[in-house]
Homo-oligomer: A and B are copies of this chain.
Amino acid sequence: MSSSIGENLRITVFGQSHSPAVGVVMEGLPAGAPVDVERLAAFLARRAPGRNDWSTPRKEADEPEFLSGVKDGVVCGGPVTAILRNTDVRSGDYAAYFHTPRPGHADYTAAVKYGPARDAAGGGHFSGRLTAPLCVAGGICLQLLEREGIAVRAHIASIAGIPDEGDILTGGVGEIFPTLSVEQGEKMRGAIAAARAEGDSVGGVVECAVLGVPAGLGDPLFGGMESRLAAVLLGIPAVKGVEFGAGFGAAALRGSENNDPFALEKGRVVTLTNHAGGILGGITTGMPVRFRVAFKPTPSIAKTQRTVDLVNMEETTIAVGGRHDPCIVPRAVPCVEAAAALAVYDAWLGRKKEL
């Protein structure tokens, strides 16, 4: 089912941009696991819109209401369900796109898939709004992973071709604008502002590292950590590519360059480099799991674009009004962390069982 994912921890994300609520059901969370609602709120705030000049002015409280599964701050055993009400909804903004699909959006494919019954308002079930419940689920997993000594960190690796500088394993990430280098972050913000001024948008890359992952998580073949992570990450709207470790760069290396030599460090097996991104044969090596995620530029732009009138079947043009981020990458950083946490915690729950 397309709105569900996970093997040991199964989440189902539901809702449309303008339905009464969006939400998530989580099955498989262990009874007794604590959920710190305040820390979760702080995590969700990193994704929430309307807080600065590079995000949509749509405002949502984004305080999850737990309908089931959590009692007195701990998971009680049944499925955990949390919802976020959609309040700042202006569906009128979208009536025009119902029959004139916005380029780069799911408007057209939703029309083909679901026909006249589709909920096109705000992108419906395809909206970036669905990353809010994803972050609720992922935010809980981040807390549970932390208890196991596993931390997830991500930053903007580049926006509009402007790269960040520094190492995610050691550097500090900005709170307001999640780059390692304040200076490079300034340049990126300039690029976003420039695009916005021209009624345009920009894309970027998010890099993520998962630290403290024990060796042995994941499975061979389709259950490999790469498949697990990619399936969640590519479910985030606007993601068009994922690479692990040296990724596409590895394709240009020789084996002697790309192979990570094994060594001992304080009696523990490590690799001296980490081109594998912490994954060999789909299974974690104990080194940090590292990957990069490509986000396309926000498709909603004010510039006039060619499109098609699906009713009269004739070509026309469109200029997308409404409220949109000129760049979603800053808000996507916690989404990537959430996706990573979901995949890693799912694998962690399925870790090797003793005979």
Contacts and interface: CB of A to CB of B under 8 A. Distances in A.
Interface of A: 1-5, 7, 10, 12-16, 19-23, 25, 27-28, 30-33, 65-69, 71, 74-81, 83, 101, 103-106, 108-110, 112-119, 123-126, 130, 147, 158, 160-161, 195, 200-205, 215-216, 218-224, 226-227, 230-232, 234-235, 237, 239-248, 250-264, 267, 269, 271-272, 275-277, 280-286, 292, 294-301, 303, 305-308, 310, 313-315, 349, 352-353, 355
Contacts of A65: 20
A248 B206 CA distance: 11
B201 A103 contact: no
B109 A280 contact: yes
Contacts of A235: 221-224, 227, 282
A254 B30 CA distance: 36
B118 A256 contact: no
B28 A106 contact: no
A36 B277 CA distance: 40
Nearest to A276: B104
Contacts of A313: 264, 267
Interface core residue of A106, A252, A306 (most chain B CB under 10 Å): A252
B130 A221 contact: yes
A147 B250 CA distance: 37
B77 A113 contact: yes
A258 B104 contact: yes
B77 A117 contact: yes
Nearest to A9: B1
Contact of A108 (B257, B262, B310): B262
Contacts of A116: 32
A158 B251 contact: yes
10 tightest A-B contacts by CB?
A2-B223, A106-B281, A78-B125, A2-B219, A241-B243, A77-B114, A109-B283, A201-B255, A261-B306, A31-B114
A274 to B, nearest CB: 12
